[in-house]
A and B are shown apart, each in its own frame.
Chain A
Amino acid sequence: MKCEARNATTRRRFLALAGGAMGAFGAASLLTVRPAVATPASMAAAIREVVGEAPVRPGKIKLDLPPLVENGNTVPLTVTVDSPMTAASYVKRLHIFNEKNPEPNIVTFHLGPRAGRANISTRIRLADTQSVIAIAELSDGSFWSESVDVIVTIAACTEESK
């Protein structure tokens, strides 16, 4: 817990109280129960499924996620690929993966030259602090990726305290 001190005495007293409240104010989010947790290994397998043996290079793709997420249930995500989006050179597919949700796949977007611009936004769920990876598949068959680390904070005052 990070608190900015405005008044040292009340702060100490409050922290003691709130420390007790932590359990009750802790998260009961949709994803806290995870019978099967995706691991970096299952993410690697999901990625191999998409790229096969082709090399995946860093670059060309930009993945925007807030570095500190307010609530893992709804995380804004924007992905942009540096591509002219012409009939000769365009983005075919964009895949988003994660490490620690129950399943490694988040979403796949299919696009083509008619998109005009390879820029897509959506909202995702993240069960935990983890890495999110975006992979772009271009019309020339090359793959490009970017990985972003996201810190998921725990919501306070959630519905039930169980």
Chain B
Amino acid sequence: MAAAYAGEIPLSERKSGYALMSRDTQKMQDDRTANPGTLWVLEGETLWSQKAGSAAKSCAGCHGNSGSSMTGVAARYPAYNTTLRRPINLEQRINICRTERQHATAFAYESKEVLALSAFVGSQSLGRKIAPPADKRLTPFRNTGRDLFDLRQGQLNLSCAQCHNDNWSRRLSGAIIPQAHPTGYPLYRLEWQSLGSLQRRLRNCLIGMRAEPFEYGAPEYVALELYLMSRARGMRIETPAVRP
């Protein structure tokens, strides 16, 4: 995986969405005490040590108090799950612990709780390089993600690649088109006025393309996440990032 695929942005020209946003928005992300994403990280830290479910166990009870056991984890998700025989993303991994280890009901996608916990877990990898696992079982799923990225779809017959590989740095209405690197998720989007997951972001782009968005948690989204992470390999995690 040393070189970029044909049609992709050369590795040396890759830029995080951070580099394309205004100085003000960059400052909002950089200053922990001014970054609204910190509110979710703190909430996640609280949930981490709260006992839950019929097992009455906390995340901290198994994974340690500080969360430092989670260092680097977000940088290598989605990962292959042997039981399900397919890749799962970080939110799904957290929910598996929630249901199977804590014996509690799963958190809904985009719920405050799962965003808070994934922000807390994700922020343990802040500054780490994205390092997709060299797991052969992931290859077919990653290829599906790549095909989806290149697929022209929706009423406008556009592909993700047309915007994010071929036209990044140009303006679409007011917004600058970024390269679509998933370095900062979950992140605080000014437009949402809230934290949101990578799948929420992908859903927004699909709606913009006038394509039918998938259900949250759909294998198609996980395949796209997997491909985007490999396309961003070596770039640094910014969780919780801020974007326009």
Q: List the interface of chain A (C-beta within 8 A of B).
A: 1-4, 6, 10-11, 14, 17-18, 20-22, 24-27, 29-30, 66, 68, 70-71, 73-74, 76, 152-161
Contact = CB atoms under 8 A, between A and B. Distances in A.
A152 B21 CA distance: 15
A155 B173 CA distance: 7
B171 A25 contact: no
Given A4-B170, A24-B207, A155-B175, 19 more contacts: A1-B173, A14-B167, A17-B156, A18-B167, A21-B156, A21-B210, A22-B172, A24-B210, A25-B172, A25-B208, A66-B22, A70-B24, A70-B175, A71-B244, A76-B24, A154-B175, A156-B174, A157-B208, A161-B207
Contacts of B9: none
Given A4-B169, A14-B166, A24-B208, A29 B158 contact: no
B190 interface: yes
B193 A30 contact: yes
Contact of B158 (A3, A17, A68, A160): A17
A7 to B, nearest CB: 9
A71 B172 contact: no
A27 B172 CA distance: 12
Contacts, number: 104
Contacts of B177: 156
A10 B167 CA distance: 9
7 contacts: A17-B162, A20-B156, A21-B158, A153-B175, A157-B205, A158-B191, A159-B191
Given A70-B244, A157-B208, A160-B207, A1 B171 contact: yes
Contacts of B190: 70-71, 73-74, 155
A67 B215 CA distance: 39
B153 interface: no
Contacts of A73: 190-191, 193
A161 B175 contact: no
Contacts of A11: 170
B9 to A, nearest CB: 13
A34 B190 CA distance: 20
B21 A70 contact: yes
Nearest to A70: B244
Contacts of A25: 172-173, 175, 208
B94 interface: no
A3 B170 contact: yes
A10 B163 CA distance: 11
A125 to B, nearest CB: 9
Contact of B173 (A14, A22, A160, A161): A22
A159 B207 contact: yes
B55 to A, nearest CB: 36
B174 A24 contact: no
B194 to A, nearest CB: 10
Given A24-B208, A66-B22, A76-B28, A155 B191 contact: yes
B181 to A, nearest CB: 15
